[in-house]
Amino acid sequence: DQNKFPAIIAHCKEYGFVFPSSEIYDGLSAVYDYGQYGAQLKKNIRDYWWKSMTQMHENIVGIDAAIFMHPTTWKASGHVDSFSDPMIDNKDSKKRYRVDHLIEAFAADLPKEEGEALLAKMEILEKDADYAGLKQLIDDNKIKCSVSKTANWTEIRQFNLMFSTQLGSVTDEASEIYLRPETAQGIFVNFLNVQKTGRMKIPFGIAQTGKAFRNEIVARQFIFRMREFEQMEMQFFIRPGTEGEWYAYWKEERMKWHLSLGTSPERYHFKDHVKLAHYAKAAVDIEYEFPIGFKEVEGIHSRGDFDLTQHQIYSKKKLQYFDTEINQNYVPYVIETSIGLDRMFLLTICEAYAEEDLTKDGKEDSRVVLRFPAKLAPTKLAIFPLTKKDGLPEIARELMDQCKSSFYCFYEEKDAIGRRYRRQDAIGTPFCVTIDHQTKEDNMVTIRYRDSMEQERIPLDKVKEIVLNAIS
Ligand code: ATP
């Protein structure tokens, strides 16, 4: 399955889903642009998340906080002091590695059991932040591994992942601000604004989607790990003491959301965190089996009152809630669900991508198809007049006008029908409709289904309804 990854990356580029950023200047490392179909697919995933979180939950509302925040935010949240990864430099190649990624690369080169033992040792050392031990582990194992046989390594250092910049024109320390490394803090600092103006009663949630920035030390993993990416986060504010039950609830609820998209359940699993982040009381990842192995797509975290308490201390403003049911004032606890939109995009492409051999009766044939769930597909319906004349384009245009305010349609009149179908398969369009000469007689059209490639004659005036049913 490893070979599938380069094929998917090439497909994303060839069909206008994802381009390297500023490609005419040879790209920018770990930064990507979404093309015409990619932007639409990404929007559909974001909308699906937003709807299931806000519209479908009466007690969750959405906000849109700024990327720039007061610099003290990041002192209070702990990011200035502890949002860092241990890293190590290769003195010869001048390349920088995240320590865990380097040891993972070592492990991949070793026989299975030895590799697993190495990773287990690493986990313990990481948990204790034992950098001398980790350095020793690298020195002891580097001989066995192709990445680094003779390399000369520096000591391990902490590397803060936040990008900083200057606000305004003054360059003193007070004007240094950060690009947010997560969207969550925009929610915490607005907790009281939303609670009061929305008259929210605990338990309630605040959801948000938006860009986040991390100066990651990256191995080439396409859009899996980027320096500029988008998160979809929700903080759920609860009464202290109920965190166990809400943590279990959101864990299950989020897995249900993933499975609602028709993904094979065996490609998902939960992975509990061994090493907890500075804010967390309990944390679990939802992992998906990408062609590069099981990897995190989403995290569910029980954050206690860490964030609100910290913001109370630093801002000297009370961030409390008066619970009329128990007549008590308290700082609410928080359960967070945090998913990367770009990772969900990559998951959606990996799950949908299929190379199919269609050889029949000795005639070689094949296709690449993206089997997106219809509600996520960038284009829902392709409309093809069989020929450019005889009034067929007019009928096709009329259908287009009927449908395009309800969902994305694509119109094309060039090339043989078979080739037009294949191009739609490659961008994942679930339905194609062909208007031919017979249509003028009987008002029937040929609908062709992406997944089965089956075709049938249906009434022209049923097309819109069929598509609407499939995407609702
Ligand atoms: P990782 O262990 O992969 O670095 P993390 O545990 O730091 O991720 P969180 O801080 O919990 O991730 O962020 C929540 C989600 O945001 C992740 O599950 C992931 O989907 C997404 N995410 C985090 N960092 C990146 C990144 N550099 N590029 C793309 N998505 C990311």
pLDDT in tens, 65-97: 999 999 999 999 999 998 988 999 988 888 888
Q: Is the CB of 100 under 6 A from ligand 1?
A: no
Q: Locate 164 and state its tokens.
A: 């900083």
3 state DSSP class of 277: coil
> What are the domain boundaries of the chain?
4-80+161-349, 84-157, 379-471
* This prediction's pTM: 0.93
Domain 379-471 listed as CATH 3.40.50.800: yes
Report the CATH number of the 4-80+161-349 domain: 3.30.930.10
Q: Does residue 203 have a cis bond before it (omega within 30 degrees)? A: yes
Cα–Cα–Cα angle for 52, 56, 60, rounded to 5 degrees: 90
Task: Judge contact between 159 and 84, C-beta under 8 A.
Answer: yes
Question: β-strands 328-330, 333-340: how paired?
Answer: unpaired
Nearest CA to 436 out of 452, 413, 465 is that of 413
Angstrom distance (rounded) from CA 37 to CA 45: 12
Pocket of ligand 1 contains residue 77 by CB under 6 Å: no
Sign of the CA dihedral running 102, 108, 110, 114 = positive
What is the ipTM for the molecules in this complex? Answer: 0.97
- Return phi, psi of residue 29, to 5°: -60, 130
Mean pLDDT over 93-107 rounds to: 87
Could you give the CA distance from residue 22 to residue 37 in angstroms, rounded to a whole number?
18
Amino acid at 237: F
The mean-pLDDT minimum among 164-168, 305-309, 315-319, 354-358 falls in: 164-168
Of 296, 302, 335, 337, best ligand 1 pocket probe by most atoms within 8 Å of the beta carbon: 296
Distances (CA, A) of 222 to 5, 93, 339: 9, 22, 17
* pLDDT over threshold 70, residue 150: no
Q: How many whole angstroms from 379 Cα to the centroid of ligand 1?
A: 29
How many angstroms does the Cα of residue 281 sit away from the middle of ligand 1?
A: 18
Q: Fold for domain 84-157?
A: Herpes Virus-1 (3.30.40)
CA distance 315 to 224: 35
Helix 463-471 vs helix 392-403: crossing angle, to nearest 10: 40
pLDDT of amino acid 244? 95
CA torsion 461-464-467-469 (nearest 10°) is -90
Phi/psi for 24 (5° steps) reads -65, -15
Task: List Cβ neighbours of 451 (8 Å cut-off, separation of 6 or more).
Answer: 369, 371, 430
User: What pLDDT digit, counting tens, does each position of 165-191 carry?
Assistant: 988 866 666 688 999 999 999 999 999
pLDDT in tens, 41-59: 999 999 999 999 999 999 9
In a 3-state reduction of DSSP, which class is residue 279?
Answer: coil
